[in-house]
Amino acid sequence: MTNQPQPPPNVLRSEGSLWIGTVTTILFLIFGKSWLVGLSSPSLAGLFFVWLFVVILWLAFSVVRHADCLAIKLGEPYGTLVLTISVVGIEAVMIAAVMLTGEENPTLARDTMFSLIMIVLNGLLGLTLLLGGMRHHEQSYNLSGAVSYLGVLTPLSVLSLIVPSFTDSTPGGSVSRLMGFFLLFMSLGLYLVFLFLQTNRHSRFFMQPEDGPQPTKELHGHEGLVPRSTRFHALFLVLSMLPIVLLAKSMAKVVSFGIDSLGAPPALGGFLVAILVLAPEGMSAIKAALDNQLQRTINLSLGAATSSIGMTVPAILAISLFTGRELELGLDPLQIVLLSLTLLLSVISFTTGRTNVLQGVVHLIVFASYVVLIFD
């Protein structure tokens, strides 16, 4: 007797995050100004932070769920690409929303992108390599895919986040209009070329190698999901992202107040935003590593870092250039050292086509150093 396909869950129940997110958005649009203007109570700010954090995180998981369902429909590497772009898209639209409607914070975009790269390439990648290595001893991946990611990520990161700190035309880490337009078209163009190769001519680079150990799960990380139509998931993916965009300004105000009240370093704001955005994708990457799907883990982690620069830099530069909003892209000297070390370590880690526990431990040590230096 064959098993009948399980029917999709009721929309009212399955999309609970969207309904709660919509109600929260309406409340903050109506009362948010009176709630947050002149905010002086740490306990009230903490309540708002927990409320917004839980709602945005729930919505982010909903975005990932719909992206995962699209992954089932589209197959690899398109499925993972949809998931990565969706998650990084949340980061980009949150930053853009704050830049367009909030108080000027010229380093928010830079700090968030830097935090995302450090969290993904050191924290997330280190944890997945450690856990995967502990369970499977050694894991294989497609070397051509990893090299392709790093070959794009390295120039994007250096040109966008390091070079602006050394230009003479503008002070600090800001960029001139000429440099701004160059970085905008360079990052967007390089990322689009990469996407074309990833989804067309060289899509096999981003698939699990057939001659290596095969995944221990047949469903490739999508167990328990009952997909509907492609249109349904595409629509609700966008609808789930909309409240995140509208709540971004309120979240930024609460985080800014908390940082000022606690005397915490400003970079902590970007770190919290990156953690919030990456949480759902991080769980998918860890699960893939435990299921011996290291290629999917690499597609998620290196793809997130590459997409973060490739999507966010053009968006924030366009806003800055056409609205006059102040923007600083160049990193501080200590951040430059950490980013350079991270890129070098990533290149070294992905040169053989196989990984083990050692690479994971080394990446986690660099991540721990980054976290400590935020507060030092």
Q: Is 12-375 a CATH 1.20.1420.30 domain? A: yes
pTM higher than 0.85: no
Fill in the amino acid letter for 64.
V
* Rounded Cα gap, residues 367 and 72, in angstroms: 32
Fill in the amino acid letter for 55.
V
What is the DSSP track for 46-79? HHHHHHHHHHHHHHHHHHHHHHHHHHHHH-TTHH
pLDDT one digit per residue (tens) for the chain, 376 residues: 445 555 666 777 788 889 999 999 999 999 988 888 777 888 888 899 999 999 988 988 888 788 778 877 877 667 677 777 777 777 777 777 777 765 677 888 898 889 989 999 999 999 999 999 999 989 998 888 899 999 999 999 999 999 999 998 888 889 999 999 999 999 999 999 998 888 887 778 888 776 655 555 544 445 556 788 888 888 888 888 888 878 877 887 888 888 888 888 878 887 887 887 787 778 888 888 998 988 888 988 898 889 888 988 998 999 899 988 889 999 999 999 999 999 999 999 998 889 999 999 999 999 999 999 988 7
Chain-centroid distance of CA 363 in Å reads 18
SS3 content of the chain, % helix, strand, coil (to 5): 75, 0, 25
Whether the CB-CB separation of 271 and 115 falls below 8 Å is answered with yes
* Rounded Cα gap, residues 137 and 139, in angstroms: 7
